[in-house]
Amino acid sequence: MSKKSYFGPHLMLDLSECDQESISDLDFIFNFLNTLPDKIGMTKITQPYVFPYTGKIPEDKGITGFVVIAESHLSIHTFVDKCYAFVDLFSCKPFDTDMARDLIVGAFASRKPEVYMVERGTGFPRDIYGAQVTA
């Protein structure tokens, strides 16, 4: 097994042309955040925190949600009138980013997803005591 050269993957999705019903449904967003961690092998340590948002720009209304996982976090911000959602999944534990991407894009039926994956913490000192650490 080779040594991991970074701290963890950060999967970011900019989802346009989403299903407007899904991205405007508070219960749907809660259930998405509540079930996705288990589907991708993560450990949820809090219940999702989900709330509607209406700000100074009326067409930016939507839903914001967040769940803390032992490995880091999963967040979503939707813009209902624009049929758009931003989803971030960061983890210190490796996970199947392709499967996670497919689950996320499918959940919101985005017809134009933009997907970014960054290997975060390339300089992170995994083991400051000299023991062999493998991923």
Catalytic site residue 18? Answer: no
Please state the three-class secondary structure of 69-123 as a single string: ECCEEEEEEEEHHHCEEEEEEEECCCCCHHHHHHHHHHHHCCCEEEEEEEEECCC
Catalytic site residue 10? Answer: no
- Alpha-carbon distance of 130 to 11, in angstroms, equals 30
Q: One of 72, 75, 91, 110 is an active-site residue; which one? A: 72
Q: Which two tokens stand for residue 68?
A: 């803390």
Backbone region of residue 83 per phi and psi (left: phi > 0; alpha: psi in -120 to 50; beta: other values)? left
Catalytic site residue 92? Answer: yes
Enzyme catalytic residues: 72, 77, 92
